[in-house]
Chains A and B, each alone.
Chain A
């Protein structure tokens, strides 16, 4: 199984600016001083050594993740603005003449998680099937409303693909696209749900837009059970721990420190920091990743936990 990240930013999409790119170029050119590049390979090797915050970017699309299991039906988690490039990639790969089935699992219905749907090109092509799985009873209303006048020029009823909504109960296994999926209620304004997926002996947990109440012993135990032995946990690490328990308490998000502690307690193999704060630039996110890896070392009791930071375009094999 592979996990492909199409949108990794929290709350609102952001874009890299001319100022950001200029700063990256200056950093790269300073690092290249007194070096000779005879071949393209020399340049590539130099770029690879620069650090992702200088040579790359975490990107700015809001939440959209694809689980690639080899099953002919596709699996998508949330439809933030990253759903636009995902839809385009699907059309490029399969062509418009070959109908596809897409299963979408929704964490919740906040705008940053549904805004990509009207730009997900497969919904405009007859024959395609999109099944939206959610634990929110008003899921269909949320999708219809964002395309109603005066907010969008194409009404939901005008979509050519077959779009179906399936409302599920949490804490119950469902079998979709060769996988088992199970939802768990999370602490977030209007509720959100984490999803655990099992396929081919691998277990992936998608736990975004979730606050973890540090003093709540029972909640902690439930989360650890939900994360238990996962190969990968995709975790809302939008705030610092201090913010999440003080000025931003009750804002519905968590921190890198809590992600590490919960994953260590649940014996998770890999932690993926996700739903990055929109105010953070690449340097800041790279710094948070380095600090999170250090905290993992400091707090480790037995097996190591690998820590990564998701970025738009990342293909993460399990």
Chain B
């Protein structure tokens, strides 16, 4: 599991969004690492700051512990009046979101650009 920040994306209205790209498996053995790596990005994702987009295109699998980390992340950002979204799920991870019904909990976008356009209004 790895998180790398990629260049900020600008939405059609000129505002920008911060993008991080996650890759690998997020399961029992890596969820803690995922949690810790995500933390600094969450702390700055607050009212008035750029929204955060988590690009999941490199994630092959996520289990319940990983989904829990995402849920806590979304809760923290909401409490800070920030904005967060997930983008570019691989087909298998999209299935896991559907089966676990996490697709009903998170805003999931097809691409980081689509997420930036939706969040930067």
Contact = CB atoms under 8 A, between A and B. Distances in A.
A245 interface: yes
A265 B63 CA distance: 12
Contacts of A242: 67, 71, 100-102, 104-105
Interface residues of B, number: 18
A15 interface: no
B68 interface: yes
A215 B28 CA distance: 10
B121 interface: no
Contacts of B102: 241-242
Given A214-B64, A261-B63, A246 B95 contact: no
Majority SS at the chain A contact face:
helix
Contacts of A214: 64-65, 67-68
A299 interface: yes
Q: Which 5 A-B pairs have the closest CB atoms?
A: A240-B101, A241-B100, A242-B101, A291-B99, A214-B68
A257 interface: yes
Interface string B90-116: 001001101111101100000000000
A246 B95 CA distance: 19
Interface string A226-251: 00000000000000111101100000
B96 A215 contact: no
17 contacts: A214-B64, A214-B68, A241-B67, A241-B100, A241-B102, A242-B71, A242-B100, A245-B64, A245-B68, A245-B71, A246-B71, A255-B100, A258-B64, A265-B28, A291-B98, A298-B95, A298-B96
B61 interface: yes
B100 A257 contact: yes
Contacts of A255: 100
Contact of B101 (A215, A243, A298, A299): A243
B92 A298 contact: yes
A295 B100 CA distance: 9
A294 interface: yes
A287 B104 CA distance: 17
Contacts of A265: 28
A90 B111 CA distance: 60
Contact of A299 (B61, B67, B71, B98): B61
Interface in A146-174: none
A257 B101 CA distance: 10
Contacts of B104: 242
A115 B101 CA distance: 32
Contact of B99 (A215, A243, A245, A294): A294
Nearest to B60: A298
A241 B61 contact: no
Interface in A194-247: 214-215, 240-243, 245-246
A294 B100 CA distance: 11
Nearest to B74: A246
Contacts of B98: 291
Contacts of B68: 214-215, 245
Interface string A252-290: 000111100100010000000000000000000000000
B51 to A, nearest CB: 21
Contacts of B100: 240-242, 255, 257, 295
Interface in A92-125: none
Nearest to B27: A299
A78 to B, nearest CB: 27
Name the residue in B95, B100, B102 with the highest tally of chain A Cβ atoms < 10 Å from its Cβ: B100
